[in-house]
Amino acid sequence: MRLLSSGFLLGIILLLVPYGVFAIGNPEGGVSIGDVYVFRNLVDEGDQLYFCRYDVSYDPIPDEDPEDAWQMALYDSSDTLIGSRPLNYYQHNIISMYLTPSQALTWGAENKVRIMGMPLVFGTWTEGVNMRTRTLSGGDYYEKDYLAGIMITQAEILETDWVITLLDANDKLNATGSAFFLLAVPGLGDMAPEIFSVITGGVDITYKNYTQAYRESLKTNTGSKLSGAIFDIGKIIGVYNSEWTGFWLVLILFLMLAGTIFAGLGNPGWAFCGAFGVIALSGYIMGGNIFTFAITAVLVVAALFGLYFILSRFA
């Protein structure tokens, strides 16, 4: 009960105390709106973007952050507040509000865009002093196709006033321009990607020319006696290619060893692992294509083992 009473008393005190301590006053140079544009069908069919170039002119710049003191507000034609967004900067800058298709206002209507002080900071508004209103007309509404060109034009206006470079030599937003416009218009990169500079670079690739020298050198490991024996065994079974005969002999030896290990341990996993050495060693001794076949067999057996391991434990 005591905790509830304390909380209630604290709430009353907070209501009686003014919101924050702001020393900010009205902008000496006033507040103005340069351009307002409305675009539609940008990301989804029926969505809208309200873009505004404004000037909240202070000298000197206040200590208070602009997002705590000023905002862009959007009203419909009946003067009903639709939404607001804090400003990112004082002085001459840009801001926007995006509406989804379900939030979109009547196209071409006399909707209103306002740059205005926060109500809890300024208390009351005076047009031209701490608030500026632009009532939209049909000429302020544009289709998506105009977005890119208008954004570049706005960048040129800001570039001249700020005396900094926002565009590159190809009239695309550079890194500085991109930072300002993406902050003012989130998602602009998806709405008009063609206005951004694209930095491309090549990667030097050195291609390695692999030869069969190592594989062929392994043939010398076979020796004439072993080669003759393999060829003779092949003739018995009607295979006159000693490399294929050698491959099948390696495979049979692998299965024999794997079977022996499995019979002793009862674990097919250990059988697979133990027989790998036979394939690799035989490939090294017999050389040539046997080496290639053996490596292929190793990969196949490894894949089968992996499949067995996964299925036996998780299936």
pLDDT average, residue stretch 289-311: 64
Q: Considering the chain, what percentage of its residues have pLDDT values greater than 90? A: 54
Delimiting residues of CATH 2.60.40.3580 domain(s) in the chain: 31-195
**What is the spatial distance between Cα 52 and Cα 111, in angstroms, rounded to a whole number?**
13
- Quick one: average pLDDT of 291-313? 65
Please compute the mean of the pLDDT values over residues 1-26 and round it to a whole number. Answer: 49
User: pLDDT tens across 138-168, in order?
Assistant: 999 999 999 999 999 999 999 999 999 999 9
Match 């954004």 to its residue by tokens.
151
Residue 294 has pLDDT above 90, yes or no: no
Burial of residue 72 (number of CB atoms within 10 Å: 0-12, 13-18, 19+) = buried
Whether the per-residue pLDDT at 248 is higher than 80: the answer is no
User: For the structural domain made of 31-195, what CATH number should be given?
Assistant: 2.60.40.3580
Runs of H (alpha helix) within the chain: 2-16, 66-69, 119-122, 147-162, 175-184, 188-191, 213-217, 219-236, 242-265, 268-286, 288-314
Question: Which one is predicted more confidently, 293 or 159?
Answer: 159
Question: Considering only CA atoms, which of 280, 271, 275 is closest in space to residue 309?
Answer: 271
Res 256: pLDDT: 75
Looking at per-residue pLDDT, the higher value among 301 and 7 belongs to 301
Q: What average pLDDT does the segment 199-224 reach?
A: 56
Mean pLDDT of the chain: 80
Tokens of 135: 């009532």
